[in-house]
Structure 1
Amino acid sequence: MDYHGIDLNLLAAFDALMTERNVTRAAVHVGVSQPAMSAALSRLRTLLDDPLFLRSADGLLPTPRARELAEPIAQALRQIGATLLKGEGFTPSDATLALNVGMSDYSAFVVLPMLLEKMAEQAPGMTINVHAFNNRDDAVDLLDAGVIDAAVGVPPTYSEARILTRPIFSDAFVTIVSSTHPVARRAMDMETYLSLSHVLASPEGQRHGLVDEALAQQGKQRHLALTLPHMFAVPAVVARTHLTATVMKRVALQSSAARKLALLPPPLVLPEIVFHVMWHRRNDANPAQQWLRELIGSVASVI
């Protein structure tokens, strides 16, 4: 058999199939589509003149020939990887590359200032390009397309094995009113809450948010006097009016209008919002991106 010109990706595919015993999971493992993995298996069968994997109720069962090849191929791939990556260290203080991060408005407002401060200290030659997204599922598209190296935000509405996530911080909701408002110095009960006119921040222009869903479960409805697409405009609006809003706590505390606000516990149970750093599986071992994710995590732990 002539091995000259053999595609090493076929060996990576074989190793993934041995590990996962499933074509779809093996495809995710190496970051290719399911049809591409099926095609690789077909090429391997032709190249090695053996079926290699047989379908069964428990997944793919390796043939004796596949079992014979498994460890030598796995060892060869490890040696190749070690050889290619040898000396390819990443030193933040010497690096000059640019990294791309996807952030919602909230993430950019809360995380970005300290992230840039720490980057200036640790990696002065590196730059960050921020790509905005409002819909949480858009982060998956940006990661898939390679437009961004990492994203910071609320996890997507659906789970994808190729998209890895790690929680880094959370935020709770508070109800804000102007510090001069008559209710600013007393508890916000439900009757008072529903008697007020509310502001809703809705980037997509909807007039129904998390608070409205929680109220609807109790058969209640609030009066919305204003909707606007920018959540960080809300505290300034509330500080100068008799309107109220229920926002994440950091939105209020980090606003320039914070001293003119009273922060009160909402009179209904609302979940804490957990923010994650997200990245594509194909970039999991990239040293520069590993450093970036760790830096984001360390910044988020103290904000």
Structure 2
Amino acid sequence: MNLAAVDLNLLVAFEALMEERNVTRAGRRIGLAQPSMSSALTRLRALFGDELFIRTAAGMQPTARALALARPIGEALSQIRETLAPDTGFEPATARRRMTIAVTDYGDLVVVPALVSLLRQEAPGIDLVVRPIADPAASLAALERGDVDALIGGHLPESARTVRHRLFEEDFVCIRDEDRAAEGAPLTADDYVRLPHALFSSAGGDGSPGVVDAVLAMEGRKRRIAVTLAHVVAVPFAVAGTDLVATMARRVATRFATIAGVTLVPLPYEVPAFAIDLLHSRRATTDPALTWFLATIERVGRSL
């Protein structure tokens, strides 16, 4: 392909179409009337030899070729914008800005307190709004629309229109009442399935089978869920003073061990760790304040 013959504005149009999935909205986003945007799509199809976007009842759906192009084109445009953007001299210590993030319960308990502490030290003029991730798909859509600046948590959905950074990995531990845990040896595999369990399930009921239950099933075993709780912070307090056992993320359990009166004990089964990720829009690199904020979240992740 002769790069001299490629109109860079076509790549901008491609990015807008990928994010909006609608010709009219994509055109409005980059300042083109609907006929001009349709013409850009026609030229894009000729350039890449593919339909790229197919009109359906749900909007313009990208083809496999378009999905494959989304990340490299987005990264290339981000680098160009970053190179051409003027130096605004962003100063965290004096900046005034509001940042909005959406987090899982885990992110709220583990990442947010450390982030707040760092912001108060280094950028006291930046206000932070924290929203819950109740519906991951809805939160991802809010990120893509620009309603939130970042998502933080585990098991976040994939999207070609966002950038994902691994903050750290988390593993699981068991918690028991501190007096019962001190009575004897560490929890055995038999003890684990014999004792009643407390479980956090934001969905209610006894929750859908999770990674722990999948591991037990491979061993031909099953645990009894005696208590199901709607808030993860309630779990250690329910375990304290009872015969219950619970499986929790290590960093969350550590935060509550002393104040709840529980002890951390090793999980007697090999349960895979899970990743805590940061998701943000590809457009973040064009905003010095947001770039700094995201880097700050990554710094927090490295410190945990």
TM-score by length of 1: 0.75
Q: State the distance in 1 between where 2:165 and 2:121 align.
A: 24
- TM-score under structure 2 length normalisation: 0.75
**Contact conserved, 1:174 with 1:263, CA < 8 A, in 2?**
yes
Residues 1:267 and 1:40: Cα distance change in structure 2 (over 3 Å): farther
Given that 1:235 and 1:258 are in contact with CA atoms closer than 8 Å, whether structure 2 keeps it comes out as: no
Aligned to 2:46: 53
For structure 1, the residue ranges without an aligned partner over 5 or more in a row are: 1-10, 18-22, 60-73
Offset at residue 89 of structure 1 (A): 3.2
Q: 2:156, 2:277 within 8 Å by CA — same for their partners in 1?
A: no
Indicate the residue corresponding to 2:65 in structure 1: none
Secondary structure of 2:268's counterpart equals coil
- Rg: which structure is higher? 1
Query: How far apart are residue 230 of structure 1 and its match?
Result: 0.9
Equivalent-residue separation in structure 2 for 1:267 and 1:86 (angstroms)? 56
Structure 2 residue aligned with 1:128: 128
Task: Give, in angstroms, the shift of residue 104 of structure 1.
Answer: 1.5
| Conservation of the 8 A alpha-carbon contact between 1:104 and 1:153 | yes
Whichever residue aligns with residue 250 of structure 2, its letter is: K
Residue matched to 2:193? 194
Structure 1 residues 135 and 170: alpha-carbon distance in aligned structure 2, compared to 1, 3 A threshold: farther
Alignment partners' CA distance in 2, 1:162 and 1:132: 21
Residues 1-303 of structure 1: pairs in structure 2 closer than 5 A? 12-16=8-12, 27-28=17-18, 31-33=19-21, 35=23, 36=26, 42-44=38-40, 53=46, 56=49, 82=84, 85-157=85-157, 159-181=158-180, 185-207=184-206, 208-255=209-256, 257=258, 260-303=261-304
Q: 1:166 to 1:193 in 2, by over 3 A?
A: same
Where in structure 2 are there 5+ consecutive unaligned residues?
A: 1-6, 28-33, 53-75
State the one-letter code of the partner of 2:111: V
Cα 1:291–1:155, aligned 2, differ >3 Å: closer, same or farther?
Answer: farther
Q: Partners of 2:45 and 2:134 in 1: how far apart?
A: 46
Aligned match of 2:3: none
In 2: Cα distance, 1:124 partner to 1:218 partner: 52
Q: Contact between 1:184 and 1:262, CA under 8 Å: does it hold in 2?
A: no
Matched residue count: 263
User: d(CA) in 1 for partners of 2:201 and 2:95?
Assistant: 39
- Aligned equivalents of 2:44, 2:141: Cα separation in 1: 36
- Change over 3 Å in CA distance of 1:105–1:45 after alignment to 2: closer
* Residues 174 and 264, structure 2, Cα contact 8 Å, conserved in 1: yes
Structure 2: distance between partners of 1:179 and 1:80: 53
Give the superposed CA RMSD: 3.3
The one-letter code of the counterpart of 2:140 is V
Cα distance in 1 for residues equivalent to 2:275 and 2:302: 12
